[in-house]
Amino acid sequence: MTKKIFGWLGYAAIFAAVLFFMAPESWWQFGVTPDAQRPAAAEFALKKLDGTDWKMSEHRGRVVVVNYWATWCPPCRIETPGLVAFAKEFENRGVDVIGVTMDEDLSPVAPFIDEYAINYPVAYPNAAALPSTDGFPLPTTMLYDKNGRLAKKYTGIVLASTLRSDAEDLLAE
């Protein structure tokens, strides 16, 4: 019996190690990129669902979170409540959040926004604002410092606690 338990524990440890090293980098790298190593973000503008413009340049002096998601994406559905709570907690603390829907059919977007009580602006994508021209997984979240430089890219679900910690670090700079 003891051999059987240790056998399963060994397999579980190997499985966990494989997941750890094959996981997206944002799962196992903690903290934000050091200040001197941050690339400048390309200036970009987005068209919000309400028809107004959102420009990265208008958010200088603030930490910015850009979240790429879609209504059909199960991990996005898991991540969204944490982003909503994060946006509410940081709305008056110098952090701006914007969601970028990657849905081709926009008909489910408004019901999704209502269902999850999304309290930050949602925009359409454009080529200048995408994290990659070669495609990317959803959700993907970009965290920019007060100077508009990319401080962290999260591939996959970002926990609100991780985002909170990283935003706090950037606000303290």
Spell out the long-range contacts of 111-120 with Cβ–Cβ below 8 A and sequence spacing 24 or more: 112/71, 113/49, 116/77, 116/80, 116/81, 116/84, 117/84, 118/80, 118/83, 118/84, 119/84, 119/87, 119/88, 119/91, 120/83, 120/84, 120/87, 120/96
- 114/168 same-domain check: yes
Provide the residue range defining the domain that includes 36.
Answer: 31-172
Q: Count helices and strands (H / E) in the chain.
A: 5, 7
- 43/102 same-domain check: yes
* pLDDT tens per residue across span 125-159: 876 667 765 678 899 999 999 999 999 989 999 99
Query: Is the pTM higher than 0.85?
Result: no
Q: What pLDDT sits at residue 26? A: 45
Number of domains in the chain: 2
Q: What pLDDT sits at residue 47? A: 94
- 23/62 same-domain check: no
* pLDDT tens per residue across span 50-73: 999 999 999 999 999 999 999 999
SS3 assignment, position 69:
strand
- 126/64 same-domain check: yes
- 11/81 same-domain check: no
Q: What is the CATH number of the domain that holds 42?
A: 3.40.30.10
pLDDT band at 27 (very low <50, low <70, confident <90, very high): very low
Return the structure tokens found at 89: 């907690």
- 26/40 same-domain check: no
- 81/63 same-domain check: yes
Give the C-alpha separation, 90 to 102, whole Å: 24
